[in-house]
Structure 1
Amino acid sequence: MTWAVYLWQLGVCLCAIGLAPLFAGWVGQCRALLQNRSAPSLWQPYRVLRKLFHKEATLANDASWLFRGAPYVVFAAMVLAAAIIPSLTTELPAARVADAIALVGLFATARMFMALAAMDVGTAFGTMGARREMMIGFLTEPALLMVLFNAFLMAGTTALPAIVQNTLTQSQVTLHPSLAFAAVAFVMVLLAENARLPIDNPTTHLELTMIHEAMTLEYSARHLALIEWASWLKLFNYACIGFTLFAPWGIATHGVSPGGIALAMLALVAKLAVAGAALALFETASAKLRLFRAPEFLTMAFLLAVLGLLVHLLLKG
């Protein structure tokens, strides 16, 4: 029944919205344990959201409708991106009508609104953060597209569900050198896009280092809660994109059923646990790069993705 499919689509979106803070809490807990610090609770992000939603919002005198509306647009873009990514099943409407190019467009839309809102109030920190964010986006988007093109050429389509089905229906597991290069490039893009080390540090507000945090300093209460929730959801979405491209095992491909979704949920939670621990380990072992070294880091990601593309074309030829 059509209505049942749309209910499953809504359930998948709610699952992503609910799991994103938990995933962020897991990364923070693993990072604290690796650094021999007292680890915060897994539920700390939920407590932060509850506290912020119960506070009264304070707005700058010069804030326009753009500043007030940007958190809602950014959060909605991340929710729509979660609906497109086949994190649990490939049989959902949104995943079949929008491809990965539209997904990159959603991330770019969220970045644009964040940058414009940061410059809207005219503060020095907001403008500085917006310029740095656009510089990072200018370098990460081509690298992400090159990563996706590797998967597109192998699957013959830009639709993420078809990429998952193509990978799972292969008769045997084979090592694709092009995907190895693309996977390394994708991890580098994930770190930059989500303001993680070595590009940015989400736990600091130092003027010379912060990028994403500089754009959120003027937000408070419900607006800040939506911005934080959207950033956690973006990290969750990027992790699910990585699972879709490089580790799609566990995703339901044969219809939508409670049993299949339950198994896919268990597989997703397991993959998120491994990915969160790996991310925390990498951040613990990494040092913050100076800002002018960030273009070199992201240029390397782009070159690795292009190298993977060339390797695929050479092996195919």
Structure 2
Amino acid sequence: MNAIGYVAVAGQVMAVVIGAPLLTGWMRQVRARLEGRAGPGPLQPWRDVRKLLRKEPITPVGTGPAFRAAPALLVATTVVAAALVPLLSTDTPVSAHADLIVVVALIALGTLALALAGLDTGTAFGGMGASREMTVASLVEPTLLLSVFALSIPAGTTNIPAIVSSAAHAPARLASPAGLLAIAALAVAILAETGRIPVDNPSTHLELTMIHEAMVLEYAGPDLALVELGAQMRLTLLLGLLSSLFAPWGIATSASWAALAVALALLAAKVLLLGAVLAAAEVFWAKVRLFRVPELLAGSFLLALLAVTASYFLNGAA
């Protein structure tokens, strides 16, 4: 493996880490303009992170290792997943290890860490948020697996770079019934995993409806900065995964500096477009009632199951 592969891995990680706050600021700016407001600007999330890093860390009395380790674990698992997912190139030193189950397990590990941190605080809000988060995760993680597994059947492997490479060489599969069902299921799962409307509202602190915010209310200073950065990175990573799976055009499939530069530019364009679409949709969507969230996620799981069934029969017939 030459140096280009290592640069591609480093570029993917840096794109997620540096670009995550910019994506969040971009989405807030799009939403503000659609609502008739000026907005704080796309660089505001980076200013918030810098401000929090300068503050004194505060740890609530009675909390244990789970509370202190959760922010770093959330960021670390997202960084490892960003290195594995083929955002820029399918030919990297870690491509052989980028299995679908490994990536979903890393995402689930970050979710579990935050849930344990919420329980570790011993507060009513923390326990409530952890309970709700695990309820959502129990339906989201299988949906993530099945929706991508529907695309793995034509490729004959659960290795994500191989799936993306196969889709890039046969884009007609993405327009098939299995592909359309899979993209719908994965989109709903990403909304739930990242705590976006209609499943959760990332900008609210209303105790009757919040899920993610209830688990992190006790964090402050650098720990809160890591939690916010980790959440933004997960959104960027999952939108990048969505674009790689269903719009794989431009991803480098060979060792080439020019192909890598084009892939970086197209990744930024695709993720910014998906972020703008999501922000615009949130202006017109309303958050569903908490007791209706399992119904929504069960519907997305059913779509993913239908995608797997359709992919199996279509490829079996072929």
Q: TM-score, normalised by structure 1?
A: 0.96
Distance 1:147 1:104, change over 3 A: same
1:294-309 alignment, distance < 5 Å:
294-309=293-308
Structure 2 counterpart SS, 1:93: coil
Instruction: State whether structure 2 residue 265 is matched by structure 1 residue 252.
Output: no
1:226-305 alignment, distance < 5 Å:
226-255=226-255, 257-305=256-304
What is the CA distance between 1:9 and its match in structure 2? Answer: 2.1
Residue 195 of structure 1 aligns with an amino acid whose one-letter code is G
> How many angstroms apart in 2 are the aligned matches of 1:221 and 1:258?
40
> How many angstroms apart in 2 are the aligned matches of 1:43 and 1:136?
31
The percent of aligned pairs where both chains have the same amino acid is 43
Q: 1:161 matched to which residue of 2?
A: 161
> How many angstroms apart in 2 are the aligned matches of 1:222 and 1:134?
25
Instruction: State whether structure 2 residue 114 is matched by structure 1 residue 114.
Output: yes
Root mean square deviation of aligned Cα: 1.5
Distance 1:112 1:6, change over 3 A: same
> How many angstroms apart in 1 are the aligned matches of 2:197 and 2:14?
29
Distance 1:294 1:167, change over 3 A: same
> How many angstroms apart in 1 are the aligned matches of 2:223 and 2:41?
24
Q: Does structure 2 retain, via aligned residues, the 8 Å contact 1:239–1:275?
A: yes
> How many angstroms apart in 1 are the aligned matches of 2:59 and 2:36?
39
Residue 192 of structure 2 aligns with an amino acid whose one-letter code is A
Q: Does structure 2 retain, via aligned residues, the 8 Å contact 1:160–1:244?
A: no
Distance 1:172 1:164, change over 3 A: same
Q: 1:37 matched to which residue of 2?
A: 37
Instruction: State whether structure 2 residue 314 is matched by structure 1 residue 315.
Output: yes
Q: Does structure 1 retain, via aligned residues, the 8 Å contact 2:98–2:161?
A: no
Which portions of structure 1, spanning 4 or more consecutive aligned residues, are displaced by more than 4 angstroms? Answer: 1-4, 171-174
Q: Does structure 2 retain, via aligned residues, the 8 Å contact 1:16–1:236?
A: yes
1:133-148 alignment, distance < 5 Å:
133-148=133-148
> How many angstroms apart in 1 are the aligned matches of 2:235 and 2:244?
14
Residue 77 of structure 1 aligns with an amino acid whose one-letter code is T
Instruction: State whether structure 2 residue 133 is matched by structure 1 residue 129.
Output: no
Q: Does structure 2 retain, via aligned residues, the 8 Å contact 1:126–1:214?
A: yes
What is the CA distance between 1:211 and its match in structure 2? Answer: 0.1
Deviates more, 1:92-101 or 1:52-61: 92-101
Distance 1:8 1:268, change over 3 A: closer
- Give the number of equivalent residue pairs: 316
Q: Does structure 2 retain, via aligned residues, the 8 Å contact 1:83–1:95?
A: no
The answer for unaligned runs of 5 or more in structure 2 is none
The answer for unaligned runs of 5 or more in structure 1 is none
Residue 127 of structure 2 aligns with an amino acid whose one-letter code is T
